[in-house]
Structure 1
């Protein structure tokens, strides 16, 4: 994995007493895969998440990523943005295959892409993220069984990979700026990140 790229396995684990299960929270630039019956949670603004699972074995995972925005100097061309999204998806797919998932059994649920970040709306970041992930999954032949994209609200997504169940809560009001601050910081980070290339799939 390219250390400069910034995508990595989510380290934040805790016990969710509401659902009575072990839970992993993923932040922008992170992903998580598991063969176990646990819960994966994330909060999305302009970013998108793909909940991807093997519908036979229940092995599944989730990522959380954003395409770099274009800028006036043209330092982040569209091709680089696409490469970033492909890399983020291949990390998730590669790790799922590595722990035993079968590509022919993949099904996906996709979320996010809300217009919530000031300063990034000019580049339609949420819309570009949404269009990318739908196009990518279609090209890869992965069935999309559910989606909740665009709109103006952040979302909290709860994914149970063992069963494929997903709960989505739209956050119509934010009590603090944590989500927006995280995504703005992440946006700056990925503009500076280097994409070394694609990930070899097993």
Structure 2
């Protein structure tokens, strides 16, 4: 995949650069919260945070330069199985937007490594279609195809997860939310799922460089 980046104009399918920044008192540093359908890439010594249910996140970094980023996405239902299905095209789009931004900020493909999390069976509406399992299988398949090594993973299970990613060092802290006291993560993913069902991805994204 090479050439210029082409993005689909429908905002339902454009991966948004997260703008939710705050100061994390626990770690004493700036932080960015990455919500469903968002991503963030940085060269700064900050922490990227996301909470996952059925969605997955890929934390990807250049292990030599320290530039890294995180996305948060879900495959929409429908279509055939495999990397060429209509559903998987959105996952590929979400991954390529992240990789494009990393490469534009100076990362080298040969130095990239990934840590992946999520794909839990936490949404009753998605359990029958095994969306969490499909998300997990997709992200591993995609990274294997792109020859980006997965150096850590925590996928599947039945619990939401909170993930903290420090791109400068590559450190990740992950907590399974065994007792969730509110439905915020489920509500966000239901809204995201509804948007994916409503919209239809047309057109492709080609990897930059």
Instruction: Tell me if structure 2 keeps the 8 A contact 1:6–1:193.
Output: no
> How far is 1:194 from its partner?
3.1
> How far is 1:55 from its partner?
0.1
Q: Distance in 1 between matches of 2:138 and 2:87?
A: 10
Q: What SS does the corresponding residue of 1:198 show, helix, strand or coil?
A: coil
1:186 corresponds in structure 2 to 192
Pairing partner for 2:67 from 51, 59, 68: 59
1:73 corresponds in structure 2 to none
1:36 corresponds in structure 2 to 44
Instruction: Tell me if structure 2 keeps the 8 A contact 1:33–1:60.
Output: yes
Instruction: Tell me if structure 1 keeps the 8 A contact 2:33–2:48.
Output: yes
Q: What SS does the corresponding residue of 2:180 show, helix, strand or coil?
A: coil
Q: Distance in 2 between matches of 1:200 and 1:97?
A: 9
C-alpha RMSD over aligned residues:
1.1
Q: TM-score, normalised by structure 2?
A: 0.91
> How far is 1:86 from its partner?
0.4
1:91-139 deviation digits (Å, cap 9, x = unpaired): 0000000010000000000000000001110000000000000000001
Pairing partner for 1:8 from 13, 16, 26: 16
Pairing partner for 1:114 from 116, 120, 127: 120
Q: What SS does the corresponding residue of 1:120 show, helix, strand or coil?
A: helix
Deviates more, 1:34-43 or 1:1-10: 1-10
1:62-93 deviation digits (Å, cap 9, x = unpaired): 000000022xxxxx555111100100000000
Deviates more, 1:146-155 or 1:173-182: 173-182
Instruction: Tell me if structure 1 keeps the 8 A contact 2:56–2:119.
Output: yes
Q: Distance in 2 between matches of 1:197 and 1:6?
A: 11
Which 4+ stretches in 1 moved above 3 angstroms?
A: none
2:208 corresponds in structure 1 to 201
Q: Distance in 2 between matches of 1:98 and 1:30?
A: 18
Q: Distance in 2 between matches of 1:38 and 1:194?
A: 34
Q: Does 1:100 align with 2:106?
A: yes
Q: Distance in 1 between matches of 2:165 and 2:206?
A: 25
Runs of 5+ consecutive residues of structure 2 not aligned to the other structure:
1-6
Runs of 5+ consecutive residues of structure 1 not aligned to the other structure:
71-75
- Tell me how many residue pairs correspond in the alignment: 197
Instruction: Tell me if structure 1 keeps the 8 A contact 2:99–2:207.
Output: no
